[in-house]
Amino acid sequence: MCAPVVSTRPPETADVPPEFAAALAPPPPGPAVAFVLRLGQALHRHGTPAHRLEGLMLRVSERLGLEARFFSTPTSIFASFGPPEDLRTSLIRVEPGDMDLERLILLDMLADDVIQGRLTPAEGATRVEDILARPPRYGPALQLLCWMLAGASAALLFGGGWKEMGVSGFSSLAIGVLDLVTRKQPTTARVLEPVAAVLSAAFAGIAAHFFGPLHGEVATLAGLIVLLPGLTLTVAVNEVATRNLISGTSRLTHAALIFLQLGFGAALGSRVATVLPPVPTPPLPAVLPPGTAVVALVVAGFAIAVLFRARPRDWGWIALAGAAAFMGARLGALLLGPQLGAFAGALLLGIGSNALARLRNRPAVTTVVPGLMLLVPGSVGFRSLASLLERDVVAGVDTAFSMLMVAVALAAGLLSANAIMPSRKVL
């Protein structure tokens, strides 16, 4: 048999005279392509999940007359423009940022302006940069206050008393300070979760030694409430359910890693109490009356709205959506069990948020994301790791399975809500 002949002839463009090379080169991207790419990068940076990001970019491209295909992962966006035989593909590397509801709303409004012809794509691309350059609406002092309020209100919702509220509020405040200090330093920001867990567990142990008995697990867990990856886990399950398998699997892995870091840090911090001299342990104090949970829900809604950088005009809607979702989940859990209770809460939240989005012509994400923060199974996952670290494998595996089932129930509730009450907006 003859060996296959391999052609070594250079590409045809290599023989083209230089004066004709520019004419054969692919055309530079137009303003419509530039706008779509900048819009997608901005949306990705501020917490838009893959299925919503790809849907909005595709909608904008179609309305601008572009043939486009998009593929999003938690750290990148692939965008191809043109027919399949003549694609022009761009790769955008994105570093995930914090959730910013106000910027997401402004970007959604900007997309509508460009689609409806009120702005040209070139003007829209400039406006994207202006939105990203806006200074933060809330200063560090208010953000730190909300870190503390989030921890204290979470302790009450988890069944703690005044001592647990005080300890978790102080722990969450210290973690908030640490977050602000390390935010602009990537090398130190990557160890925020384990260091924060060490601090929260250590503060709980020290407080129990000097100020009397308290629920150490509640105080530790509530102090870490802002860092728990329950929302990431729920978004990951939602992405897998919408066939965005790579993005969803990546987020699942990221959530699992954060859980492991928090569990390791909490186990290390709990050792602080073992080096202190033993003290008598009187009975644990009684929990606060159930009516205080309403106050905690209002405070938690305000804190979440600020930490997610929502506009002040949306605070009331966020608090209402969060309270309705939480109460619906609690009532559903009493009647149907925790998994179906989470489904009921997410279904109620999704239907209400989509109806409100249709009424106000604003993205449903404004109320869906803060409301989910009161339903996500992050606390269940943390308890699972605590059981595994104490070598209670059966309880740890059982709790981990419950966490996964709650996340699936939340995703199923949101998908069912979208089918029952579709939103006019992609976000």
The domain spans of the chain are 31-132
> Token pair for residue 407?
């996340």
Q: Per-residue pLDDT for 23 more than 50?
A: no
Q: Per-residue confidence at 340, pLDDT binned at 50, 70, 90?
A: confident
Q: Per-residue pLDDT for 426 more than 80?
A: no
Lowest mean pLDDT segment, chosen from 39-48, 143-152, 255-264: 255-264
Q: Per-residue pLDDT for 102 more than 80?
A: yes
More confident of the two residues 319 and 388: 319
Task: Quickly tell me which residue has 């929990």 as its tokens.
Answer: 287
Q: Per-residue pLDDT for 244 more than 60?
A: yes
Residues of the chain with pLDDT > 70, as a percent, come to: 83
Compute the average pLDDT of residues 320-340: 80
Tell the burial category of 28 from Cβ atoms under 10 Å away from its Cβ (0-12, 13-18, 19+).
Answer: exposed
Task: Quickly tell me which residue has 């706008």 as its tokens.
Answer: 35
Q: Per-residue confidence at 275, pLDDT binned at 50, 70, 90?
A: confident
Residues of the chain with pLDDT > 90, as a percent, come to: 12
What is the C-alpha to C-alpha distance for residues 75 and 50, in angstroms, rounded to an integer?
10
Query: Quick one: pLDDT at residue 393?
Result: 58
Query: Quick one: pLDDT at residue 141?
Result: 92
Q: Per-residue confidence at 29, pLDDT binned at 50, 70, 90?
A: low
Q: Per-residue pLDDT for 127 more than 90?
A: yes
Query: Quick one: pLDDT at residue 246?
Result: 87
Compute the average pLDDT of residues 323-348: 81
Q: Per-residue pLDDT for 18 more than 60?
A: no
Q: Per-residue confidence at 378, pLDDT binned at 50, 70, 90?
A: low
What is the C-alpha to C-alpha distance for residues 149 and 304, in angstroms, rounded to an integer?
9
Q: What's the pTM?
A: 0.81
What is the C-alpha to C-alpha distance for residues 264 and 245, in angstroms, rounded to an integer?
28
Q: Per-residue pLDDT for 91 more than 80?
A: yes
Query: Quick one: pLDDT at residue 225?
Result: 85
Q: What's the DSSP call for residue 161?
A: -
The answer to whether residues 209 and 154 touch, using CB atoms and an 8 Å cutoff, is no
Could you tell me the CA-to-CA distances from 301 to 49, 109, 185, 314 in Å, in that order?
A: 22, 24, 29, 11
Of residues 137, 112, 64, 46, the one with CA closest to residue 361: 112
Q: Per-residue confidence at 379, pLDDT binned at 50, 70, 90?
A: low
Query: Quick one: pLDDT at residue 155?
Result: 86
> Token pair for residue 263?
């569990």
Residues 6+ apart with CB under 8 A from 237: 248, 252, 407, 408, 410, 411
What is the C-alpha to C-alpha distance for residues 69 and 57, in angstroms, rounded to an integer?
9
Compute the average pLDDT of residues 240-253: 86
Q: Per-residue pLDDT for 311 more than 60?
A: yes
**Mean pLDDT across the chain:** 80
Query: Quick one: pLDDT at residue 384?
Result: 59
Residue pLDDT, tens place only, 169-221? 999 999 999 988 888 777 777 788 889 988 988 898 888 888 877 887 888 88
Lowest mean pLDDT segment, chosen from 266-270, 276-280, 305-309, 331-335: 276-280
